[in-house]
Structure 1
């Protein structure tokens, strides 16, 4: 008896994703970052605040893989431990922005009228500001610190998700299966969560992945400007800021933190592109 060809949308998406070597490599790098974020303090060969005044601003060596900073602290250990901080900021901020934006997009697209107008005008107002400028303004009002950075990044992430989900909701709310559920007496909450939201999930996943990279970059920029993480926190942007004074004589103090930020943001962007191509049902092999 011949085996039945049981192809599902999920399996087809996985097949399309596997064909994209760059996206697979980006996924591996992201998974490695997550492992480092979890076990970084255990993996670090030195303490993040372990001073060695006999090895100030030393270059990379067997003892200090990425060299040392202006206080003789091991830069490799500080970058490892800073991975948890930077990833946490990106994940928390984008998750908050995605949840709020999804809720607003569903409400505005489904109910329309004054609700949609108010939500979209607020989003238009937020879109009028560049993301980093808006984040700087929010942190300037709330004060510096990691928690306020998360709030700032979440605020400027929200309108992107709201507009994305609203567009998908407008496309689906008059679909036959939604009208059938409405005619059968299904409440609006069930229609939104069981019928419309699943149709927007692929777009949300792609935007979520790509937003993490930009959120990490924004958080690092705020720390670089002195408005985010404060010393002695080993956040990547703060490490970069601390090393800029010595970059002409000890380039490793900025090279390695900058390279980690660059590779992380690039990996999330490539991964998001790969997920978009894999989850797009219009693509053919």
Structure 2
């Protein structure tokens, strides 16, 4: 996927975790239909053994990218693996120490020889399906609000809270919301830097194939009616929007993302937001 660098989350997690000491490092996420459940459990159990208490395994149901890529990764129809998702998710949870779940045929398998701790498993989603799965299994849930700010985050989180079944790790619902952000010195500059993300959204909504992220000056011929998919503005404006999002959704955590051409823009955005929040 030309616009996404994190095609192998466990590899990048290992690199980041090895160069840090206290922050949690996780996937956002591993698209489970693309991978064998035992392999996912094995990879993240080893990451947890290397960096105890710092590894999050975010799991998604969508095959990701397109059908051709999904078929190449698993060698079978992506529709078949999506249908198997609930069973595969339960297998991963069982292998990672969830005693509530019968591991079935995987009962004799161990993801690592002697697991002293287990990664924290999150359910990711941009629909009500993921919210309901997370609720039924008592998992923390992250709603992918960064895809489009017009998406139905409110209904998804209402279903998540209403159907939540307490688990040993999470006696109460624990929602996260992702948000796409760009902060700059002025609102006009931030809107200019947000152009590449609008190109991506327009391509998706018109059936185009995603290409590399374009430079802001090349983000032209945009549909003026296309809704924005980012909190783009000064740091104060972005923080005000994020604070309102938290109050509206009751999110316990935020995941900040940003589709930008230059990684330095993302770094500057995060620094500005951190300062505005007094971090």
TM-score, normalization: structure 1? 0.24
Point out which structure has higher relative CO (alpha carbons under 8 A, 6+ apart).
1
Higher strand share: 2
Larger radius of gyration: 1
TM-score, normalization: structure 2? 0.25
